[in-house]
């Protein structure tokens, strides 16, 4: 009998228990990898992340009674491991030394090892997602969507790389880049959770759109943090995007508002003090936050349009505020 035909009673958890189960599952997978790679994956388990994408999966998977099926826990763990893989690869591309307050994999073990470990994490996540038994045609379709979302993440990263150091990058082009490299995985998280509990395809699409908006907010706020936060608070390198040839929205806006500043950037490398002064003068941070605010307002409207219990609406608003750094 196929998984689609089986109607076995499935374990269910409340939100807090489900979230703890996700963290335990991720830790178990990273700590029990094959011996040849275990020391590397265990290193990745040392600094725990915020698990905001995993929280998104399980929040969206809550039913009317506030319960979350075990399949959602597995899918949330898969999404979190996919996110971890993107971080490992990001650190190689950026030559980053610090991630979540710990030495990065590429700094400790070398770039080649880090790339292979990142690839292994992708395979681990795909295997975990594929092992989740579907109980409807919509859920079966879900497993086909996850690789497609990962494709969007990769294309977004490639698009960013192609535009490395591009001072002519437009606002529209930049938003397209982060729509892939950051927002796509948030969208996947919301889509995944919703597909496990919602019967109406249109409702699932609204959840996915909400995830996309929250992902955009997350990245835009992160762009601002590069100018505002200290390394101790952020637990990762800051004041470093331009140094890594990554042109973000506050700087794009400064180039747009100050032709002489952009012309100078075309002739020579800019000092960090010059960048900070120009962004401040142009109001680049205020502009980036205003764009994030538009996505925030759209997200609130989407939450209001969805048929949600009070608890589920609260969970989704918490994730929205977390992305905007309000929670």
Q: pLDDT tens digits for 90-142? A: 899 888 888 877 899 999 999 999 999 999 999 999 888 888 865 555 555 55
Q: Are 136 and 56 in contact (CB under 8 A)?
A: no
- pTM score: 0.90
Do 20 and 68 meet the contact criterion of CB atoms below 8 Å apart? no
Q: Which helix (H) or strand (E) holds 204?
A: helix 201-228
50-95 residue pLDDT tens? 899 999 999 999 999 999 999 999 999 999 999 999 999 989 988 8
CA 66 to chain centre: 25
Looking at residue 135, what is its pLDDT?
59
Write the class of the CATH domain 12-323: mainly alpha
The answer to whether the beta carbons of residues 179 and 159 sit under 8 Å apart is no
Domain-wise residue ranges, the chain: 12-323
Nearest to 219 by CA among 150, 288, 318: 288
pLDDT tens figures, 287-315: 999 999 999 999 999 999 999 999 999 99
List all residues 6 or more positions away from 192 whose beta carbon is below 8 Å from its beta carbon: 57, 60, 61, 72, 75, 76, 79, 142, 145, 146
**Which pair of tokens denotes residue 15?**
């939100």
| pLDDT at residue number 138 | 52
- H/E stretch holding 12 reads strand 12-13
């Amino acid at each position: 009998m196929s998984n689609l035909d089986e109607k076995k009673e499935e374990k269910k958890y409340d939100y807090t228990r489900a979230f703890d189960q996700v963290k335990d599952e991720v830790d178990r997978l990273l700590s029990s990898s094959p011996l040849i790679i275990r020391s590397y994956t265990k290193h990745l388990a040392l600094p725990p992340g915020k698990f905001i994408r995993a929280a998104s999966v399980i929040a969206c998977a809550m039913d009317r009674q506030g319960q979350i099926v075990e399949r959602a826990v597995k899918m949330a763990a898969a999404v979190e491991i996919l996110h971890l893989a993107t971080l490992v690869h990001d650190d190689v591309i950026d030559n980053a030394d610090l991630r979540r307050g710990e030495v990065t994999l590429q700094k400790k073990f070398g770039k080649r090892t880090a790339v292979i470990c990142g690839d292994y994490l992708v395979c681990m996540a795909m295997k975990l997602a594929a092992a989740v038994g579907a109980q409807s045609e919509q859920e079966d379709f879900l497993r086909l969507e996850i690789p497609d979302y990962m494709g969007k993440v990769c294309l977004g990263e490639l698009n960013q790389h192609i535009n490395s150091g591009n001072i002519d990058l437009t606002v529209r082009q930049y938003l397209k880049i982060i729509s892939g490299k950051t927002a796509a995985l948030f969208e996947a998280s919301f889509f995944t959770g919703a597909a496990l509990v919602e019967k109406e395809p249109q409702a699932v699409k609204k959840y996915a759109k909400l995830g996309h908006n929250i992902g955009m907010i997350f990245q835009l706020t992160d762009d601002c943090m590069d100018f505002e936060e200290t390394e101790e608070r952020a637990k990762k390198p800051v004041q470093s995007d331009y140094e890594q040839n990554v042109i973000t929205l506050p700087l794009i806006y400064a180039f747009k508002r100050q032709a002489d500043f952009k012309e100078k950037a075309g002739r020579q490398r800019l000092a960090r003090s010059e960048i900070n002064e120009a962004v401040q003068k142009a109001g680049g941070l205020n502009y980036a936050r205003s764009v994030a605010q538009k996505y925030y307002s759209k997200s609130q409207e989407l939450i209001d349009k969805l048929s949600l219990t009070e608890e589920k609406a609260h969970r989704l608003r918490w994730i929205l505020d977390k992305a905007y750094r309000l929670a």
